[in-house]
Amino acid sequence: MEFLDQINLAGLWEQNWFMFLVIGAALAGSVVFSIVRLRGARASNKSFLAEHPDAAKVYLVTKALVATEAARVHSVNGGKPENFFEGSKNGFYLAPGRSSVEISYTHSRPGVLHKSVTTSTGVVKKELVTEANKSYFLGFDRKAENFTFELTGN
How many domains is the chain built from? 2
Model confidence, pTM: 0.73
Q: Which tens digits make up the pLDDT trace of 51-63?
A: 999 999 999 988 7
| CA nearest to 62, candidates 86, 82, 30 | 86
**Looking at the structure, do residues 128 and 143 belong to the same domain, yes or no?**
yes
CB-based burial, 51-83: b 16+ in 10 Å, e otherwise: eeeebbbbbbbeeeeeeebbbbbeebeeeebbb
Residue-wise DSSP of 37-69: HHHHHHHHHHHHHHH-TTPEEEEE-EEESSSEE
Q: Which tens digits make up the pLDDT trace of 119-142?
A: 899 999 999 999 999 999 999 998
**Looking at the structure, do residues 17 and 33 belong to the same domain, yes or no?**
yes
Residue span of the structural domain in which 28 resides:
2-48
Return the sign of the alpha-carbon dihedral for residues 106, 109, 111, 115. Answer: positive
Average pLDDT over every residue of 25-36: 94
**Looking at the structure, do residues 36 and 59 belong to the same domain, yes or no?**
no
**In terms of C-beta density within 10 A (0-12 exposed, 13-18 middle, 19 or more buried), how is residue 105 classed?**
buried
